[in-house]
Chains A and B, each alone.
Chain A
Amino acid sequence: MLEALSSSQRLKTRFELLPVLVRAANVAGLAIVILLLVTIVASLAPGFLSPFNLFTLTRNLAIDTVIGFSMMVVLATGGMNLAIGSIGVCAIMATGYLLEVLGLPIVVSIAGGLAVAAILGWLNGILIVRTGIHSFVITLATASLYFGAMLILTKAEAFRELPAAFNALGKARFGPYSALLTVTFAVGAALLVLFKYSLVGRQILAAGANPVAAKLSGTPVERVIVVAHVLSGLCAGIAGVMVAARLAAALPSVGQDWLLPSFLAPLLGGTLLSGGLVSVVGTLLGAVLVTVLQNGLVLLKVGSFWIQFFLGLTLLVAVGLDRWRSVYVQRAGLKR
């Protein structure tokens, strides 16, 4: 009969060490690398720990992390979003327009900019699920489309007369750190709740890991993919508004260099390119690594060409190590 004879003994609810260790190894490894890097940079470049540098560093970190989150949300579905930079700049220009031309209150203007970003993300999602074309192709196209449309509408003219109160956001401090970090932490916390505790977040991960099985288990796969793209757009918008506050202007040239950081942070942090697994903390740490590296190289007066070189190298080394680790785990028979 079905009465389990000894299932209660077998089914231990204690948590299991190995997978936790394997997962933690990534985050812990990243944290160690960051500590090492900080120690090295701080000892070589005395300016590193100065209040001024910490402020710049954390302000860049705040922005790059949210850019990373923007990609992470879509990586969760097993797709990608190459239009993050274009969506970001559209949000910037929309916010700038609402602030400067229409003279709307700051909160309303920011909300307007974020709404534009969310709508553009939604459009990406709809195009992807309706056509069934891979997100790579769709967002490659919309990246150019959104950017072009923005240039047409704004005639590539910047908004430079933003209200002082808005610009102050970019200068706001919290001790020596940029207050923009609070926005980043809030977004991170929201994403953590989303992926760990919410129905939609779990469904996004299920759809990313195996869309067929998810669908046959009653998950509205197409809908959650659209949701993920809306969230991605929203994050891109938030990053955009932060950039506008930092620059004290809405420039149409922003966003075109977001592609690399958007992938770097989540991939360094252990988010899978194939979908179904994300790490919010990992993405944050990944962004820390990239920002510290960039900042350190600047302080050490390494030319900016080299910075590009090192960022590319970091990504290769990181994913290479990760690949080696998973192959090793498999060879050792940890996964049978």
Chain B
Amino acid sequence: MTAGALLVENATKVFPGVKALDRVSMALNSGEIHALLGENGAGKSTLIKIVTGVYRPDEGEVRIMGKAVSFSSPRDAFAAGIGVVHQERNLIPRYSVAENIMIERLPTKRGLIDRGEMNRQASHWLAALDLAIAPEIPVNRLSVAQMQLVEIARALSQQSRILLLDEPTASITRNEIEVLFGLLRRLKDDGVAILFVTHKLEEVFALCDRVTILRDGRNACDGVPIADIDKRQVVAHMVGRDDALSDIGNRRANLGEVKLELKGVSTALGHRGIDLQVRKGEVVGLYGLVGAGRSELAKAVIGAEKITGGQILVDGRPAVIRNVRDALQRWRIGYVSEDRKQEGLILAHSVAKNTGITIWHRLGGILKLFTDKQERKAIGPFIQKLDVRTPSLDQDVGNLSGGNQQKVSVAKWLAAESEILIVDEPTVGIDIRTKGYLHRLIWDLAEQGVAVVLITSDLAEMVLLADRVVVMRDFRVIGDLPNTYNYEQMSRQIMGRIHEAKLDEEHEGGASAFQGA
């Protein structure tokens, strides 16, 4: 290991009312992968923003290769050789994949953009990530996971000596994570300094060399070699006590009648012959790789996408679900979106309004007139039940931390008294404690008789929570496996199914819609 590529010394950042960072230090060396951990609100994002020139520290300094630097904008950080994959999506939707990757240095020929060269260079980095998407596709046609990989490709293409990755694996699946990790290890061997922010501890132990942990804006530890620390200690550092990683326990599934049934459903998006049964009190997992059509299926069930064939039955009765309003009000189906910022929440509106939106139609009698007070009374219990940490119900949701935002986007469907709840990637980008809450909540809901469909790309989470795992690939259901709660075994079975289906398909010469190149 060589000396400090990026050094943060005693950085302090104060926002009105909060000390986001309090004398935090971190030393990132060339040729290492360094984990930065902490719960939501611990100050990780603030630290990253200081290093990348979004914020200026009130005190303390940042050194790059030994030289003190003072960035006044993200461009300065970029110029100093820092590549970043931010937690938030930073792609320009209408631009092509190649344009997004190459945007900082578009190749030109006679003053005009050389599209051929641009696509060629972009393809190189897509290939490095094993990503089979055509560089000409506009970014808004990609799935969330593909977008995340494109962002990683962009950061890689800058060939920075310092690479910051803020939760790069939040919404990508295992295979893609493997590819990414392989690549990061190669970069490390080339001497790149890599800072890796994640909520997934397994990844830290699988990939990282040292770990810095923040808690409440302070260093809980600073650059401890991974060999000298175990999972329990890491968690203890993060939450300040060591019992937070409590086992979720066992669940005795108490299954009732079939609540939701899909019979040969096909959709305008390309689903064909989807059969699915979910009983009262059951947690059915939907697993699949990127582009398998899981979220899209969920949206079709709640009436947000068109169903072109087959039948949906609720309580054994055929259900015609024309729009989300029908799903919510008549059939009591709720959908917690994977994309809470765009689809799940109205960030500029208050906690109260975001939670109340699903129950407004029940308030205020015939005239549908009601006061804020009535709204609070109706939603208050759910906000409390989920332990949403907000200064008040009037706070804009956009000002809450990620974990609390996610709790609000779940709370509104609890308030709606959903009898069927589809939960899509519920714990992406969520800290351990909140994750634990949400896991327990999913089981509690099932125990209360709710039929739960769980969509997650985190196989460990799937194996932990689901009673049954339905495997999807290319908008079809290709397997239905009872959960043995044995991770290795389930992982082998599920991946086996997906692989078999892939081979079958290649055998038939069928090409999937999502793998153009």
Contact = CB atoms under 8 A, between A and B. Distances in A.
B348 interface: yes
Interface in A175-190: none
Interface residues of A, number: 44
A15 B384 contact: no
A210 B370 CA distance: 22
B-side interface size class: 35 or more
B100 to A, nearest CB: 21
B412 A4 contact: no
Contacts of A202: 353, 356-357, 360
Contacts of B389: 10
A193 to B, nearest CB: 7
B347 A200 contact: no
B394 A16 contact: yes
B152 interface: no
Interface stretch (A25-33, A111-119, A215-223): A215-223
B79 interface: no
Interface string B97-120: 000000000000000000000000
Interface in B43-58: 55
Could you say which of A8, A217, A335 has the most chain B C-beta atoms within 10 Å of its C-beta? A217
A13 B304 contact: no
A188 B231 CA distance: 60
Interface stretch (B123-131, B177-185, B437-445, B484-492): B437-445
B390 interface: yes
B353 A220 contact: no
A235 B368 CA distance: 22
A333 B55 contact: yes
A219 B390 CA distance: 25
Contact of B368 (A18, A20, A196, A199): A199
Contacts of B344: 213, 216
Considering residues B327, B335, B364, B387, which has the most beta carbons from chain A within 10 angstroms of its beta carbon? B387
A323 B376 CA distance: 32
Contacts of A336: 15, 20, 399
A213 B393 contact: no
Contacts of B395: 16, 19
A334 interface: yes
Interface in B128-147: none
A209 interface: yes
Interface in A194-231: 196-200, 202-203, 205-206, 209-210, 212-220
Interface string A20-55: 100000000000000000000000000000000000
Given A14-B392, A203-B360, A218-B358, A212 B385 contact: no
Interface in B400-415: 412
Given A203-B360, A206-B357, A7 B16 contact: no
A171 B369 CA distance: 36
A333 B13 CA distance: 10
Given A7-B383, A11-B388, A197-B364, 15 more contacts: A2-B440, A11-B380, A11-B384, A13-B380, A198-B367, A199-B370, A202-B353, A206-B349, A209-B348, A212-B342, A212-B343, A213-B344, A218-B327, A219-B325, A219-B357
Interface of B: 15-16, 20, 55, 299, 302, 304, 323-325, 327-329, 335, 337, 342-349, 353, 356-358, 360-361, 363-364, 367-372, 376, 380, 383-396, 398-399, 412, 416, 437, 440-441, 444
